[in-house]
Amino acid sequence: MKIVDCDYFVVGSGMAGLMSALHLASYGRVVVATKGRLADCNTNFAQGGICCVMDPADTFDRHARDTMIAGAWLGKSEVVHEICEHAPEGIQDLIDCGVRFEKGRDGSWDLTREGGHSARRIFHAGDITGEKCEAAMIRRIRRSGVETLENTIVIDLVMTRRIGVRGENRCVGAYVMDKKSGEIYAVRSPNTILATGGCGKVYLYTCNPDSATGDGIAIAWRAGAKIENMEFIQFHPTCLYHPLARRFLISEAVRGEGAVLVDRHGREFMKKYDPRGSLAPRDIVARSIDSEMKRTGDDCMYLDIRRKGRAYLMNRFPNIYHKCMEFGIDMAKDLIPIVPAAHYTCGGIQATTDGRTSIPGLSAVGECASTGLHGANRLASNSLMEALVCARLTAARLGPHPDKFGKGAARPAIPDWKIGSAVPPDEAVLVAHMWDEIRRLMWDYVGIVRTNKRLARAAHRLKTLRKEIREYYFRYLVTPDTLELRNLAVCAELIVRSAQRRHESRGLHFTLDYPRQSKRPRQTVLDGFRG
């Protein structure tokens, strides 16, 4: 079996992964693996922007307070302040990569505002901020000497205990599969950094790309890592509602610039749910839209920004404007139909701001990590900020003082991948069926509003599905679809188990059985798999 050796193995090609790789490139050999192309990631779809206090009238304390409020006071205060205060360095990193953020006529930064923010502090590059950032980072990666493995999916982490190495149980790399050739080999490294994004595809309706199957969270849990706060799945309140509009978001920035939420008659409704109206945090807005849809029986609600005029909209939101026009919706004269959709995973692998997890040799950065920044709900545009800051802090920890394979340990021998009696799969329809069933039951039973009964039903069915998936996994040769299904099922179970442990309604976790918020915030921590 082929073994690729490197000093730093980064899994994921979004902002967290590529920035980690760029910062580490000067310290040793860096290999980045991604299961599609480099640009196939959530970062590439981010429209709104990146939070960073830059206006003299704004303060880090105000940003931290907004973050804590949005997170229903479950965020870890010291983490929130640390990340907010390091944001300017992250913005500079992107500028150094060649990202051109918008400026006003006077040359100052054109900062915008989004829901939950008390000030304008969102850096943006038009309304395709993520796409421009991703393109700039990829250009820099191509020139950096970092090796990239595209169309490469990680199967599982290589743990010393599982390969018979004595001493502390640590991660020494991963088994991976080349999706095009089917070859399975190992990447051996004393430092594995997971930056694999979230698990939005666990739900039937999501604005995430198809790659968002929670791979990093699932493989970390199977390796024994602690998982935190998986019950908090953020539903973006304004996904474009159209049969041909797949995964297209109407950015939070549209409401930040004056759009209001209305019903089909053009009547505003948010003020009866929250005094902040259409600029309330996402969890409140999503629940309010869901409530209005259930009350009226309508399939969607609407955004109204017609008063801004065509010239302004085409200049400020060119991508969104033209995309809506493709579907016959003119933002300048029509209401924009929207529905909530699964968007962001606020929990994940328990990690510090500099990437440490509960497993030596394994770091986690970005959406797959739970640092304590988001608490029970993510404040708009804090995600890319977290990715930038934590990538920089993780590299600062690992670069000058890289972890080795353990005290005095040599490079461990990694056994060949064994296929046993597995045969080529002949019933791919089973994978498609189980994939569809998981996503539908999660949408129906573990969505925006939950109950004990719904969670119990989901838990029961997921237990059976995971058994069926396990049998299928060992009976047939692995395929990318099988690996993603396996990971998706793990993430679904982690979400349900975490939701069952939280006997209150807080942030993104709203349950009719426990409608009140408890006085003492607490984290939900699940120990990793021990089998």
- Which domains does the chain carry? 3-231+346-398 (3.50.50.60), 237-343 (3.90.700.10), 428-515 (1.20.58.100)
pLDDT (average), residues 444-469: 95
pLDDT (average), residues 229-254: 89
What is the rounded distance in angstroms from the CA atom of residue 314 to the CA atom of residue 323?
Answer: 11
> What secondary structure letter does DSSP report for 334?
S
What is the rounded distance in angstroms from the CA atom of residue 44 to the CA atom of residue 37?
Answer: 11
Q: Which residues contact 521 (CB under 8 A, 6 or more apart)?
A: 72, 73, 74, 375, 506
What is the rounded distance in angstroms from the CA atom of residue 37 to the CA atom of residue 211?
Answer: 10
What does the pLDDT read at residue 223? 97
Q: In the structure encoding, which two tokens stand for residue 270, read together?
A: 């948010």
What does the pLDDT read at residue 253? 85
For residue 56, count CB atoms less than 10 angstroms from its CB and return exposed for 0-12, middle for 13-18, buried for 19 or more. Answer: exposed
Which of 187, 195, 229 has its CA nearest to residue 364? 195
Q: What are phi and psi of 63, to 5 degrees?
A: -65, -45
314 neighbors 321 (Cβ within 8 angstroms)? yes
> What secondary structure letter does DSSP report for 103?
B
68 neighbors 79 (Cβ within 8 angstroms)? no
The secondary structure element, H or E, covering residue 4 is strand 3-5
pLDDT bin (cut points 50, 70, 90) of residue 218 is very high
pLDDT (average), residues 254-279: 94
pLDDT higher than threshold 80 for residue 10: yes
pLDDT (average), residues 43-48: 83
What is the rounded distance in angstroms from the CA atom of residue 128 to the CA atom of residue 325?
Answer: 17
Ordered strands of the 369-370 beta sheet? 369-370, 348-350, 227-228, 525-526
Q: What is the pTM of this model?
A: 0.91
Average pLDDT for the chain: 94
Active-site annotation, residues: 282
pLDDT bin (cut points 50, 70, 90) of residue 344 is very high
What does the pLDDT read at residue 403? 66
pLDDT bin (cut points 50, 70, 90) of residue 47 is confident
pLDDT higher than threshold 80 for residue 82: yes
Q: Which residues contact 95 (CB under 8 A, 6 or more apart)?
A: 101
Angle, alpha carbons 4-6-11 (nearest 5°): 85
What does the pLDDT read at residue 425? 86
286 neighbors 300 (Cβ within 8 angstroms)? no
3-state secondary structure 350-415: ECCCCCECCCCCEEECHHHEECCCCCCCCCCCHHHHHHHHHHHHHHHHHCCCCCCCCCCCCCCCCC
pLDDT (average), residues 324-346: 95
- Please write the tens of the pLDDT for every residue from 115-134: 889 999 999 998 789 999 99
